[in-house]
């Protein structure tokens, strides 16, 4: 409950900062405020897939159920944030660039990351052998991780519609202090929300496993009673 309360408070303050604390951007105006949702959502999607990658490696190396549960939970929650990034991007791009979508390197790699999340979750849902689905999903989680560093470096390696990064983009890059504080605060709120949702998803997985074990344990007794 404490984690939930902190998360809600953090998100409420983040919303206030987006609309009332951060200054209006001189070129794009009010639409630039989508930046404070779009960028943290993307960072969270990257973080989630990194956790999927680490969990998948540990699962393949040790067949750790806990690592597999963590990777699965991170993938489910990360998919939500990745979808948020994909949705808010065109909403920002239309007024900024005059077009909803362009197939530049950053956008293409972001869409590929979303497809990797979809592929991972489909393997978990539609391959009915639990051991095989976990194994195949782990392979996707490991191989697909190459998208994350390439996605991050895309606007540094290739000319894209995206401007050079405002953080770590070299000389001339940077944000006005209030904008930078708002961005970091929103990122922290998203990461806190991500951690809470992953915790809840892990709790659900644990309860499902306990329920399945209880059903298996009670099955022989039920069969005896039916025969009697």
Query: In this predicted model, what pLDDT tens digit does every residue of 20-45 receive, in sequence order?
Result: 999 998 888 888 899 999 999 999 99
Question: Would you state the torsion angle of the CA atoms of residues 214, 220, 224, 226, taken in this order, to the nearest 10 degrees?
Answer: 70
Mean pLDDT over residues 135-159, rounded? 87
Task: Give the residue, 143 or 99, on which the prediction is more confident.
Answer: 143
- Quote the number of domains for the chain: 1
Instruction: State the pLDDT confidence band at 151, using cuts at 50, 70 and 90.
Output: confident
Task: Give the residue, 80 or 90, on which the prediction is more confident.
Answer: 80
Task: Give the residue, 23 or 155, on which the prediction is more confident.
Answer: 23
Half-sphere exposure of residue 219, counting CA atoms within 13 Å on the CB side? 7
Other C-beta atoms within 10 Å of 69: how many? 20
Q: Where are the alpha helices (DSSP H) in 63-176?
A: 65-97, 105-126, 130-143, 147-157
Domain assignment present for residue 121? The answer is yes
Domain residue limits at 181: 2-20+28-163+175-211
Average pLDDT, the chain: 87
CA–CA separation, 182 vs 184, rounded Å?
6
CA–CA separation, 4 vs 226, rounded Å?
45
Instruction: State the pLDDT confidence band at 93, using cuts at 50, 70 and 90.
Output: confident
What the block records as the tokens of 65 is 């159920």
pLDDT score, position 172: 47
Mean pLDDT over residues 162-182, rounded? 68
Domain assignment present for residue 185? The answer is yes
pLDDT score, position 164: 55
Phi then psi dihedrals of residue 25, to 5 deg: -70, 135
What the block records as the tokens of 219 is 């099955």
Domain assignment present for residue 115? The answer is yes
Geometric angle at alpha carbon 204, from 200 and 208, rounded to 5°: 170
Domain assignment present for residue 222? The answer is no
């Amino acid at each position: 409950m404490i984690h939930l309360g902190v998360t809600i408070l953090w998100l409420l303050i983040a919303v206030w900062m987006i609309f009332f604390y951060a200054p209006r951007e001189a070129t794009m105006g009010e639409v630039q405020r989508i930046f404070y949702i779009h960028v943290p959502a993307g960072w969270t999607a990257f973080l989630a897939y990194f956790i999927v990658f680490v969990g998948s490696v540990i699962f393949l190396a040790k067949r750790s159920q806990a690592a597999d549960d963590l990777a699965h939970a991170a993938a489910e929650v990360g998919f939500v944030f990745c979808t948020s990034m994909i949705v808010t991007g065109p909403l920002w791009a239309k007024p900024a660039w005059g077009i909803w979508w362009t197939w530049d390197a950053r956008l293409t790699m972001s869409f590929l990351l979303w497809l990797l999340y979809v592929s991972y979750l489909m393997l978990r849902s539609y391959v009915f052998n639990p051991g095989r689905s976990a194994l195949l999903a782990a392979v996707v989680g490991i191989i697909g991780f190459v998208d994350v560093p390439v996605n991050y470096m895309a606007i540094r390696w290739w000319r894209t519609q995206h401007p050079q990064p405002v953080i770590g983009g070299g000389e001339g890059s940077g944000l006005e202090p209030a904008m930078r504080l708002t961005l970091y605060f929103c990122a922290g709120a998203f990461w806190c929300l991500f951690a809470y949702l992953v915790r809840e998803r892990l709790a659900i997985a644990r309860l499902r496993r306990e329920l399945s074990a209880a059903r298996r344990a009670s099955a022989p007794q039920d069969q005896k009673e039916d025969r009697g």
